[in-house]
Chain A
Amino acid sequence: MTGRRLSPRLRSVCATIAMLFAFPVLPADAGISRAQSNFILHCGGCHGVDGAGNAEAVPDLRRQVGFFLYLPEGRAYLARLPNVAFSTLNDQELADMLNFMVFTLGDGSAPTGAKPYQAAEVKSLRSASLIGTPLRAYRAQLINRLIQDYGAAETLRDYGRNNYGTGQ
């Protein structure tokens, strides 16, 4: 019944079509989660695709962002930052992205047994964004406590350390 077999040309067309449809699932196969791709798309521009940017201008997230979870205010701070709170991600996507950031990029910096962010928690935190708060002072007092009381890394102080404009 050779007449019913597809010609080589038609087979190649079919294969091409199949490949086109298969493409959207490839990133998942390649091991990039939705949370990671959301981090890259929504945060990576400044924070770096692996969480490392220019640490004095944009906080380095690697192996230190998890320290914030030692304090309830610190845990809240990460979701209340205006650039996080106003994200176009929905509550569940944002919770997943925060968990990727804290536990994967943070790589051991979060306290043992720290609970992952939940959508309902993120919903409530992002509705109370830190807009209008003197942010640098607020962050400074948070990281002072984290460093003094919880042994967080001194490198948390790198952000904003140098005053770029005055050339120091």
Chain B
Amino acid sequence: MMGGRVAKALWASGLLLTTLCAAPIRADEGTEPETYGIATLPLPAPPHRFITMGGFGSSTFTIFDGDSGKMEGNISAGYIPNFASSPDGSKFYVSETYWTHGTRGPRQDIVTVYDAKTLAVEKEIPIPSRALVNQLHNFGLSLSGHRGYVYAMQPASSVVWLDLKTETAGGTIDLPGCSMIYPIGDEGFASLCGDGSLATSLISDKGQVTTTKTKPFFDANKDPIFDDSVTDTAAGKAFFVSFTGLVYEAKLAATPTIEKPWSIQQAAGLPVAGTGVKELTWRPGGHQMITYHKASGKLFVIMHMGNYWTQDAGGSEIWVLDTKKHSLISRFPLWAVPTSGSAAKTKPVYFRNIQVSQDEHPVIFLLNSEGNDMVLDATTGKVIRKIEAASGGAVYVSGM
């Protein structure tokens, strides 16, 4: 009977399908079956979360949990983006640029607001301009997170400020000769200027802006300050580090004060480093070479052996400094870290980006020249884990 044959055929094909479908499970007995779904990120954020940006040209922010080493999420962004997290960790902000036809067409600059649990886009805030650099202090939030600041260079050196309560652009502040954003509480921000001064821009509740300048405290042509210098916004403090390794502690306020500098090298028992192009000594260098642990007052600096004007070179050691006593606490030599891949053992690995978590048991996040992320114990310098081929452009932590 036809009906019987159909039934048999159906039975046979059903058996075959069942076998096929069951095969992957049978083949990999003991492994965890993968399931899909929409994950959410934990809030509050885990204390050792860090966010990296892909190498130059790759516009992705990747969120990692440093404790598990697991990638928690990805944010795809526009051209040379900047990242910020709200103080309570509930929102992520990405300052980014697009051209409507990819590499051409009308340009659009926006700050995109993400829900930090679902990574859903909540809002796109159009802004008039932004500078296309991935420096940390190109984009920042005020202490409470109610304001945002975007450094711009078009048509001239300026800062676009945002009201993040209404999620709108507030206005543009001209800053000829000055750049970068170091937030001062909720009142405004400080910037470094080409004549060696610090500019302070305060924005009133009504949006009125006043900018004042200190007397020059450094020489931008002889011993410039790293734009990746660090701040503690809640304490109103900044540590400006110069190319030679001088640390200027500053109080950021309506009337800022800047202390006499101390030398990183002198803190380590070495002579103060000079500006000699043949003066080989330990020097700070890299891309994001300085990070600060607020509660302990420790400064972590990536150091390398080099002559003057080698400030972009990556480092082989992390120096831990006591900012109160102006003394060296420890040096973490990292040459011993094993390398992987074809370059192993033949090519030295160096480090250009460092950030420290802000919790009680802090860890250091380090990006190395192989594009790997490393997690270190910030007290002992011991390598806790290495995450291969993850990133290269920049690293961020919550709470900075």
Contact = CB atoms under 8 A, between A and B. Distances in A.
A130 B157 CA distance: 12
B109 A130 contact: no
B155 A134 contact: no
Contact of B220 (A86, A134, A159, A166): A86
B11 to A, nearest CB: 62
A132 B199 contact: yes
Contacts, number: 84
A83 B177 contact: yes
Given A165-B126, A165-B130, A167-B100, A130 B177 contact: yes
A88 B222 CA distance: 10
B128 interface: yes
B348 interface: no
A88 B155 contact: no
Nearest to A161: B155
Given A131-B213, A165-B130, A166-B128, A136 B194 contact: no
Given A57-B154, A86-B195, A129-B195, A164 B129 contact: yes
A166 B174 CA distance: 18
B221 A135 contact: no
Contacts of B176: 81-82, 129-133, 135
B51 to A, nearest CB: 24
A133 B195 CA distance: 14
Nearest to B98: A167
A145 to B, nearest CB: 19
B12 to A, nearest CB: 61
Contacts of B97: 165
Given A131-B213, A167-B106, A57 B177 contact: no
A136 B106 contact: no
A164 B213 contact: no
Contacts of A88: 221
Interface of A: 56-57, 81-83, 85-86, 88, 129-137, 159-160, 163-168
24 contacts: A57-B154, A82-B193, A82-B195, A83-B194, A85-B195, A86-B195, A129-B176, A130-B177, A131-B193, A131-B213, A132-B176, A132-B177, A132-B212, A132-B213, A133-B176, A135-B174, A135-B176, A136-B174, A159-B155, A165-B107, A165-B130, A165-B154, A166-B108, A166-B109
Given A57-B155, A133-B174, A160-B156, 9 more contacts: A82-B193, A82-B194, A131-B176, A131-B177, A131-B178, A132-B177, A135-B157, A160-B155, A165-B128
